[in-house]
Each structure stands twice: as structure tokens, then as C-alpha cells.
Amino acid sequence: MLAVAGCSGGSTGGGTYHPPAGPPKLTIPANSPRVKLAFKFPQRAIPQPPVKKKSSKKVTVRATRSTSRNVKYLSPAVVAGGFVAIKIYQNGQPAFPDQVLTVGMTAGSQIQCFSGYGSFCYNTVPVFAPLGDDEFFVAMYDSQAKLLSITPGIPGASAFPGSLPYPTTVTAQGANVNVQTAGVVNSIFTGSTTPCVGFNSGFAGSFIQFLDADNYAISGQFANPVTFNVSGGWGLYDYGSLQPSPVTVYGGYINELDFEASQDGASGAISASSTTSITMNNSQLFAADKLAFTPNAGTLLVTGLVSGGTPASFNCGNTALMDAKVGTPISIANPVAMGNSDDSSFPAPFVSVVDGAPGGTLVDIVDVSLFDAGVVNATGQFYNAMPAYQVAIPGTPVDSIVSPASANNEIFVLNADGTIVAIDTSGFCSTCVIPNVNATLNSTVTSPTSIGWINNGVDELFVTSGNSPTFEEIDNPIFGPVFVSTNVTGLSFGGGNLMPTAVLNGAYGDPSTNNVFLRAFDPTVMPHNILVECATPSDGCGGLSALPIGAFTGGPQSIGNSTTGGQVLVGSGTSVLSFIETPLTAGGTFLSGVNANRILTTADQSFTAVGNGVFGFFPAGSSTSVGNAFGSLIAINTFQGGE
């Protein structure tokens, strides 16, 4: 609401809309009464960050019209040092010079707002208008003169179409004027940081965010309508109602408009245009029931995997990361290890990256929940990045393993000095509890090389040594650790016995059988590489057995479970060998001609990623890759609930 003073006569101002260079000093016409100007914006007029909902199963979440519509739109960037230009017309012609008022939270602001970015804003200087029937228009800018909202229909401003507002009669006593503004769409966020959208329970959906020039979400009428074209297996929905293509959108509210697909692997092309120049972060969309992540150039390279119907993969491109606590970008400097919590239990699934950064080790915990695309900072500013939480830990990292949500929600990081740092993620994004270090264990292993995990009622960790034939089992590491050491010297592998010269350089626990497998290297026997099985351990192995792998070495993550239950896969140079677990028996060659230094099979056993430097994605029962991704580490999230 504007309270204005009436002035006899009036001089013309600039006719059509044009952005001012900045807020000039307000000139008070002579012989004009000083009248109080008051802006009153409803509390909901300032868009709030969208509420991120969680569910144990994927559901379609939509706002209702009664709860989402806002009466007016005011970008927080206007309040934070911006300014407002008031334009007055009579019969569609300029009738008065433009008046520009600064906006802020301090008493020196010409328009002062209270209660945070709150409900009430008052002017500290007068506003004037010519006597007669006046048409009022308002343009709102940030401190850098970027246009954020405007009254549609300003004569000559075709970019912001609309009809003339109903005139207000201004008398010598002034008048109270209600002026409607609409947000100027500058960019569109499609609901996902890459073209790939998680598919779950027969549905893939991504809510659209319309952003102003300062990346604040616009809620309400648009000054510049947006026209969408959607083709392929995707559609644009408004509160669950499929829209035709093309369709012009004249306004939008948080969680109103979304892109949806009902088929795993669906691909579609999307485009958006407006009366002004706008951008959209994706021009294609792919529905994928799995997302693979590999560190790449400080970010994460994303690959979408499809197991429903015909197996396929999509190169989704890179996603930026941002610290969800403080709203600052995250760059992965030296990725050492990755892991993921990937099951149907709360809290939300995540991907973890252990970063041995020069300034100290950081663990980046990236939320890959379906509802967590994009980051909103404390003031409501939106960023095209995946939300992550950084935890600083001591030590020089070697390897890490994740105890998933169905177990004890821990990330265990093995350091070069034998210490193991445990990070509690039990409240991660279900109650939005920030992960924190809750234990540090002192392993007796020297020169540690890898860490494995199973859950046998309690977490059990297995740490291998790079300078001895001994590995250490740590039972119940958080709530009362029990340390058990096992030496594999003398263990027969069917062609000889392991000698005291053997060292261990890999550990893997099969969660489906609770058998643990270790990779032994002994330079004094042939072949040098031996697979050791520790059967169903609990305070020590239930039995030890071994079989030769070959003459090739392998890394800490060169053992993984097979897409066939009760079998494990082991890298052997340019081959991947299969072993039946009970009893330990050679199962033949799984793959040939593949650099298999790292092996990871998805939780639902539908894909196996094999490689080192370049990963191939092999569907269950197939030796043909459906795609690849560059990277030395990998984690794969399966959308099977909890997102």
C-alpha cells in the first residue's frame, strides 16, 4: 500500500520501462505536503525455502492451492539493500517523474523493513503523485540494479505484458494505493542438478523452481510468462494434471509444477522460452533407478543406470556440491575412498567421499534423496548443487566403509596410523541432524591397507596389514569394541601354504552371507595372489580357507559381491574371477579384457561396475557393458525406498 501526496500539475517522466542506473536522491517537489508512505507485505509474500519431505517410500508430494498461493511477491534481495522505482501514468501516458526509494533494514533506508525480511515496510520519505486518476507501476531491483519484480502492463514494456491497472484517484489529501508486482523469471531449475532423475515405485518427478536474478524462488504471478515444450517420455504437470505441450505458464508456486515420467529409462526433451531471455539448467531428462557417482574435477560425475526393462545407462554430466550447513561450494581435492548407505531404511541414502585435502581430511556426505535436488541457504537463496555435509576428521585416510542405515549408520575411515574414525549419520536428513565424529578406535594393525564390514547383529570391521599376514577383526566398534587378530601364515591354498612373508591388501564383507574375503600377496609362493575366506566371523573366523587368484596384484576394493548370490568377484589383472563362497570354490571367469582393480555390485544385484580409471557397467548375467564412466572411485545409489 502506498500513501501518496497529491500535487497540482505534473511533469512527464521517461515513458517506457527502463532500468535505472541506481537509486538517485529523491527530489521533493516544492509546495507539496509531506505524506507518509507505507508498504505492507503479507508474511507469505516473501518466498520461503521449500520444505524437504522424507518418506520411507517414494510418494508424489504436491502442494494444495489453498496453502501455496501468495498474494504479492517481494524478493529478499530487494530488502537486502535494493531499491524500488515508482512510475505513474495517466490514461496510459507518463504523468510524473520516476521516484526511486532505497530499501533496507536500517533506519537510514528510505523504505525500512522490520522483523527479518518481515511483514511490514515503511517509507521514511514521502512519495508524490499528480492530482487526478493515476495508474501506478512499481519496479523492484537488488543493490546491483538487477530487476527482480515489476508491475505488468507498463506502456511500451512489451516484455512484461498486462493490462493497465485500475486507476487511483489522487486528491490534495493524497491517496492510499495498492500496487501489484510480479516476479521476473531469470532462470529455471528443472528439479535435478543433472538430467538424471531418480525413478522409484513407478514414478520419477522433479519439482520446478522459477528463480529471479538473485536465485530466489518466485512464488506467484510471473511478469514474463514462460512457455514450455516437453516431448518424449516426460510430461509437465500442474498439481498432478498433465499439461499440453506447448503450454504457457503465467505463474507458479513452490511444489506446484513438476516434470514427471512413469517409465524407468524414459527420456525426454524440454525447453523453455519467455518474453525475456531466460535459462534452464537441463534440456533433457532421464529416469534412472540408480545413480552412479565418480569424483571428477572437484565435482561428482553422475551416470544414470536403468535396470527395469532393457538395461541402459545415461551420461548425466557433473553435479556441483554445496555445504548445506553454510551454503558454500565444496570442491573435492583429493578423493581417497567412497561409500554409500543404500537400503530401504531411514535415514535418507547418501554417498560419502573421503577427501584427503591438503588442509586436512574432510568427509563429504552427499544427500542423494529424491527430494533434495538443489540447495537453499539460510536466506532462501537457491543453488544448482547437491546438498552435502562436511565433517573434518584427523589423520591421513587410506580407506573407508559404510555401515548402512539398516545397521548402525556409521562411516568408518581407516587412517595410515591404524586409527579408525567413526562418523555417526543416524539422524542424517530424517531429523536433519548433522553427522559428527562419535568414536576413534586404535587398531593394532601396522601399515593398514583396507577396511571391510559386515553386520552380525553388531557391526564388525576387518582391517588388513600391508606388512604382515595378520588382519584384525573389531566387533561392536562403537558400543564396546572387541579386538581379535588372525594370522594367515600356514594357510593352504591348494598349491602351497602362505608364508610369514605374506601381506594383506584387500578386505570385503559380503552382506548377504556375512563371509569376509581378504586378498593376500606372498612373493615367495606361486601364484603370488591368494583369496582368503574368513567364514561367518564372530570374535574370530568360523573357518579359514584359501584359493589362488593369479599372479596379478589388486587394490583395496578389487573384491566385490556378484550379481549371483553366494558368490564373490575378484580382480585378477585384466580379468574378473568368480568364486563360490560355501565351500570356497573357483567359479570361472566372470569378465575378460577388463582392468578390474575396483569392483562394486549394486545393492539389488542388478549391475556390477568394474574398472579403475574407467568403469564399465555390466547388467546381471551379461558380460557386455551398457556404458562407462571415468573415475578412480565409484559409489552407486539404488532408489529402492527411503528416498
> What is the reported pLDDT for 219?
86
Q: In this predicted model, what pLDDT tens digit does every residue of 435-463 receive, in sequence order?
A: 888 889 998 899 999 999 999 889 999 99
Distance of alpha carbon 513 from alpha carbon 536, whole angstroms:
8
Bridge-based pairing state of the strands 312-319 and 299-306: antiparallel
How many residues appear in the chain? 643
Mean pLDDT, range 365-387, rounded to an integer:
81
Q: In this predicted model, what pLDDT tens digit does every residue of 322-352 receive, in sequence order?
A: 988 888 899 999 999 999 887 655 566 889 9
**pLDDT for residue 411 is more than 80:** yes
Record the cell numbers describing residue 570, joined without a space: 575378484
Residue 45, SS3 per DSSP = helix
> What is the reported pLDDT for 596?
81
Residues 6+ apart with CB under 8 A from 611: 594, 595, 596, 597, 598, 628, 634
Q: Phi and psi dihedrals of 43, rounded to 5?
A: -55, -40
Largest pairwise CA distance in the chain: 108
Residues 6+ apart with CB under 8 A from 270: 190, 228, 229, 230, 231, 234, 259, 280, 282, 283, 284, 285
Helices (H), 159-214: none
Q: In this predicted model, what pLDDT tens digit does every residue of 116-148 receive, in sequence order?
A: 444 466 778 888 888 899 999 989 999 999 999
Record the cell numbers describing residue 255, joined without a space: 511444489
**pLDDT for residue 12 is more than 70:** no
Distance of alpha carbon 555 from alpha carbon 206, whole angstroms:
38
Q: In this predicted model, what pLDDT tens digit does every residue of 179-191 receive, in sequence order?
A: 888 999 999 999 9
| Cross-strand bridge partners of residue 615 | 611, 629
Mean pLDDT, range 3-9, rounded to an integer:
58
Distance of alpha carbon 392 from alpha carbon 118, whole angstroms:
36
| Cα→Cα distances 364→345, 594, 600, Å | 21, 30, 20
From the CB of residue 631, how many other CB atoms can be counted at a distance below 10 Å?
Answer: 24
Identify whether the C-beta of residue 402 lies closer than 8 Å to the C-beta of residue 339.
yes
Distance of alpha carbon 618 from alpha carbon 427, whole angstroms:
34
Mean pLDDT, range 567-573, rounded to an integer:
89
Identify whether the C-beta of residue 164 lies closer than 8 Å to the C-beta of residue 153.
yes
From the CB of residue 508, how many other CB atoms can be counted at a distance below 10 Å?
Answer: 26
Question: What region, left, alpha or beta, does residue 489 occupy, with left being phi > 0 and alpha being psi -120 to 50 degrees?
Answer: beta
Distance of alpha carbon 504 from alpha carbon 502, whole angstroms:
7
- Whose CA is closest to 536, among 549, 559, 564, 517? 517
Q: In this predicted model, what pLDDT tens digit does every residue of 28-78 receive, in sequence order?
A: 454 443 433 444 443 333 333 333 333 323 222 222 222 222 335 678 898
Label residue 555 by pLDDT band (50, 70, 90): low
From the CB of residue 98, how many other CB atoms can be counted at a distance below 10 Å?
Answer: 16
Distance of alpha carbon 353 from alpha carbon 404, whole angstroms:
15
HEC profile for 61-87?
Answer: CCCCHHHHCCCCCCCHHHHCCCEEEEE
Mean pLDDT, range 91-108, rounded to an integer:
89
> What is the reported pLDDT for 19?
58
Q: What's the chain's average pLDDT?
A: 83
Distance of alpha carbon 566 from alpha carbon 563, whole angstroms:
9
Is the pTM higher than 0.95? The answer reads no
Distance of alpha carbon 339 from alpha carbon 326, whole angstroms:
24
| Cα→Cα distances 173→30, 123, 433, 607, Å | 16, 18, 57, 76
Query: What would the DSSP string read from start to end of 140-174?
Result: EE-TT--EEEE-TT-TT-TTS--PPPPPEEEBTTB
Distance of alpha carbon 588 from alpha carbon 498, whole angstroms:
23
| Degrees, nearest 5: CA angle 463-467-470 | 45
| Cα→Cα distances 511→516, 562, 601, Å | 9, 11, 12
For residues 147-157, one letter each, b for 16 or more C-beta atoms within 10 angstroms of the residue's C-beta and e for the rest, the string is bbbbbbbbbeb
Record the cell numbers describing residue 481, joined without a space: 569394541
Distance of alpha carbon 259 from alpha carbon 138, whole angstroms:
33
What is the separation of C-alpha 375 from the centre of its chain, rounded to a whole number of angstroms? Answer: 7
Query: Hunting for cell 572437484 — which residue is that?
Result: 298
Cis, bond preceding 404 (omega within 30 deg of 0)? no
| Degrees, nearest 5: CA angle 232-233-239 | 115
Q: Phi and psi dihedrals of 487, rounded to 5?
A: -105, 130
Task: Say if residue 328 is exposed, middle or buried (CB neighbours under 10 Å; 0-12, 13-18, 19+).
Answer: exposed
Distance of alpha carbon 8 from alpha carbon 351, whole angstroms:
68
Q: In this predicted model, what pLDDT tens digit does every residue of 592-635 receive, in sequence order?
A: 887 788 899 888 889 999 987 899 999 998 889 999 999 989 99
Identify whether the C-beta of residue 87 lies closer than 8 Å to the C-beta of residue 138.
yes
- Whose CA is closest to 295, among 323, 263, 319, 274? 319
Q: Phi and psi dihedrals of 443, rounded to 5?
A: -70, 150
| Cα→Cα distances 81→63, 145, 146, Å | 32, 10, 12
Record the cell numbers describing residue 455, joined without a space: 553386520
Mean pLDDT, range 540-544, rounded to an integer:
93
Task: Say if residue 443 is exposed, middle or buried (CB neighbours under 10 Å; 0-12, 13-18, 19+).
Answer: buried
Record the cell numbers describing residue 198, joined without a space: 531418480
| Cross-strand bridge partners of residue 461 | 453, 474
Identify whether the C-beta of residue 290 lies closer than 8 Å to the C-beta of residue 626.
no
> What is the reported pLDDT for 22?
56
Identify whether the C-beta of residue 321 lies closer than 8 Å to the C-beta of residue 385.
yes
